[in-house]
């Protein structure tokens, strides 16, 4: 029982650190990519949607392709999916068709 309580306390402590730090949370999905959340991910999403003139942001990832810092996968209103790559200042680097999305 003590072991379970210690593990629970450690887990809650880790959550508190993430919450207090206001950093970027990272979660891996089944395709092995690390998706991020948080204030910077929200800024990346907003910028990507401006560059695509709307749509739906599906995922946000850290990225280094083409000199980018962020990659936001956006489903456009016509149903096509693109990867919007942004630099560290959330400026557009490139918009490419998403090879995983079809």
* Model pLDDT, residue 98: 76
* Model pLDDT, residue 100: 61
- Which tens digit of pLDDT belongs to each residue from 70-84? 999 999 999 999 999
What does DSSP say about strands 34-37 and 70-75: parallel, antiparallel, or unpaired? unpaired
Give the predicted TM-score (pTM) of the model. 0.66
Q: Check: CB of residue 51 under 8 Å from CB of residue 95.
A: yes
- Which tens digit of pLDDT belongs to each residue from 14-53? 433 334 334 444 444 444 567 899 999 999 999 999 999 9
Q: How far apart are the first and last CA of the chain?
A: 50
Boundaries of every domain in the chain: 24-97
Tell me the H-state helices in 22-100.
Answer: 39-51
Q: Residue 97 pLDDT more than 60? A: yes
Class in CATH terms, 24-97: alpha beta
């Amino acid at each position: 029982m003590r072991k379970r309580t210690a593990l629970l306390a450690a887990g809650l402590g880790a959550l508190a650190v993430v919450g207090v730090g206001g950093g970027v949370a990272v979660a891996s999905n089944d395709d092995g990519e690390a998706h991020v959340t948080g204030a910077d991910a929200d800024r990346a999403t907003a910028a990507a949607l401006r560059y695509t003139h709307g749509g739906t942001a599906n995922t946000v990832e850290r990225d280094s392709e083409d000199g980018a810092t962020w990659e936001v996968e956006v489903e456009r209103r016509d149903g096509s999916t693109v990867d919007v790559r942004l630099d560290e200042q959330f400026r557009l680097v490139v918009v490419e068709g998403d090879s995983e999305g079809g």
